[in-house]
Amino acid sequence: MSPDPMRTTNDKSRIAEFIDAASRLIAEKGYDRTSVRDIAQAINLTSGTMFYHFKTKDDLLEAVIKKGVDDGFQLMTEALRRAESGSLARFLALVTAHIGVVHGDLRHVHHVWLREWDRLPKEARVRLRPLAEQYRELLDNLLFALAQDGHIKADPATVRHLLLPALNWTTAWATLPDQHSRTLLAEQICAATLNQTVDTLRSLLRKETEVSRAAFLSGNSLTD
Amino acid sequence: MSPDPMRTTNDKSRIAEFIDAASRLIAEKGYDRTSVRDIAQAINLTSGTMFYHFKTKDDLLEAVIKKGVDDGFQLMTEALRRAESGSLARFLALVTAHIGVVHGDLRHVHHVWLREWDRLPKEARVRLRPLAEQYRELLDNLLFALAQDGHIKADPATVRHLLLPALNWTTAWATLPDQHSRTLLAEQICAATLNQTVDTLRSLLRKETEVSRAAFLSGNSLTD
DNA sequence: GTCTATAGTTTGATAGAC
DNA sequence: GTCTATCAAACTATAGAC
């Protein structure tokens, strides 16, 4: 369609290369200790080239964190879309997706988001904050549903304040290379959030699925 | 006793002044963006003076974090010493103390500990790590006791991974100037950890106190 | 102990050739 | 688009006067 698709693709991938290299180096050494020279060198370019694609070094940092916010939110909403309808299943799906994001291909980007957010210029924080808040709402709605279904007795907002930092900090103490180990940790954390054993959580999940399918088959799922 | 007590006191307080000023500035702007000039100027000195008291800037950072580790651990063990004997009461005491530390006079020092730990030279991390681990053990023992008393059904280690980051990150979303508001938040977090309402937690605490006092009066506290 | 002065690096950013 | 060359402004750390 585009008259010059390759040009566009190359431009995009150069910028993406910078974002990728920057996220790795900044995650490892910190923003202030990572020079523009370091980042450019990592993709066999020189510092001058970075200033052609980004106006300032801060703009590159903002691009890295924006990628984390955008991609992360997209992955989590997709996971919820694929999940069953019960509140427990949806909760486990969201927690699993969250762990998948911070331990997966986006882990460096997410690490930078978490660690260097305060180093962003105030204007950049103002731009990105609303996007970041979307996810908080997603989680809040889910925790509220869990409370209504009787799985959470504590204040949902406090539970969120327990859960969110814990999920983000799993990278500090756990290395989870494969999907299986991530699913396992997600179950452990969901269980701990409800103060139940993993076995109990699984049996509650089975029960929930049966009930919601029965309700669906009898046509009551929308009238309840 | 000392032949020149004032001299010694002045030396100590100069170093303490540097640590205090450094903790405030580093907590606000980050380690790499806080220059030795900034820190010295904050206490009406010049950068050369800092290098008389500390060999390098990194040594000053280590001193700041060491103060956080030492004072924090001391405050928490003291709180446990004053606490009742029941696992629930001791748990609440520890959580209250933790919140008191990160929101109290030491808050800047603790903030630096949390945010700049990775910026420490590896040797400094090796020196401080064992001290920092002491607190983890304290918390682990307490969570194990809670599990034995039936208050925690989930895996204690996972509960610790939920609780610790949450406590440290309360400063990111809550401002707690007075002791009352800190106690309140501590109760909320303890309740959420057990997945109970605050009211239920309070009634469990009352029950625990009654039982342990009755056991104490009947002389069974040591033979159970 | 504290100061001034400065050495020696490194950094973000720009200009202009190609 | 990418490179080279370079500027101006920081920074940590040291030396030596007081």
Whether A29 contacts chain B with CB within 8 A:
no
Residue-level pLDDT at B20? 98
Query: Model pTM?
Result: 0.93
Whether A28 contacts chain B with CB within 8 A:
no
Residue-level pLDDT at B125? 98
Give the pLDDT band (50/70/90) at residue A197: very high
Q: Which residues of chain B have pLDDT under 70?
A: 1-12, 220-224
Give the pLDDT band (50/70/90) at residue A216: confident
The answer to whether residue A98 scores a pLDDT higher than 90 is yes
Residue-level pLDDT at B223? 54
Residue-level pLDDT at A222? 56
Q: Where are the alpha helices (DSSP H) in chain B?
A: 5-29, 36-42, 47-53, 57-82, 87-103, 107-116, 122-148, 156-168, 170-173, 179-193, 198-217
pLDDT digits (tens, 9 = 90+) for A163-173: 999 999 999 99
Cβ A170–B158 below 8 Å, yes or no?
no
What's the gap between Cα A85 and its chain centre?
21
Residue-level pLDDT at A8? 42
The answer to whether residue A162 scores a pLDDT higher than 80 is yes
Shortest CA–C1' contact from B58: which nucleotide?
A: D12
Residue-level pLDDT at B1? 41
Distance from CA of A10 to the nearest CA of B (A): 35
Give the pLDDT band (50/70/90) at residue A11: low
Residue-level pLDDT at B99? 98
Whether A176 contacts chain B with CB within 8 A:
no
CB-closest option in A165, A191, A194 to B166? A165
Residue-level pLDDT at A64? 98
Residue B219 backbone class (left: φ over 0; alpha: ψ -120 to 50; beta: rest): left
Residue-level pLDDT at B213? 81
* Domain architecture of chain A: domains with CATH: 1-54 (1.10.10.60), 65-217 (1.10.357.10)
CB-closest option in B152, B154, B192 to A162? B192
CB of B105 within 7 Å of some strand C atom: no
Interatomic CA distance for residues B194 and A196, integer angstroms: 9
Mean pLDDT of chain A: 93
Residue-level pLDDT at B175? 96
Residue-level pLDDT at A211? 87
Residue-level pLDDT at A3? 41
Side-chain half-sphere exposure of B144, counting CA atoms within 13 A: 6
pLDDT digits (tens, 9 = 90+) for A29-76: 999 999 999 999 999 999 999 999 999 999 999 999 999 999 999 999
Residue-level pLDDT at A224? 52
Interatomic CA distance for residues B158 and B136, integer angstroms: 13
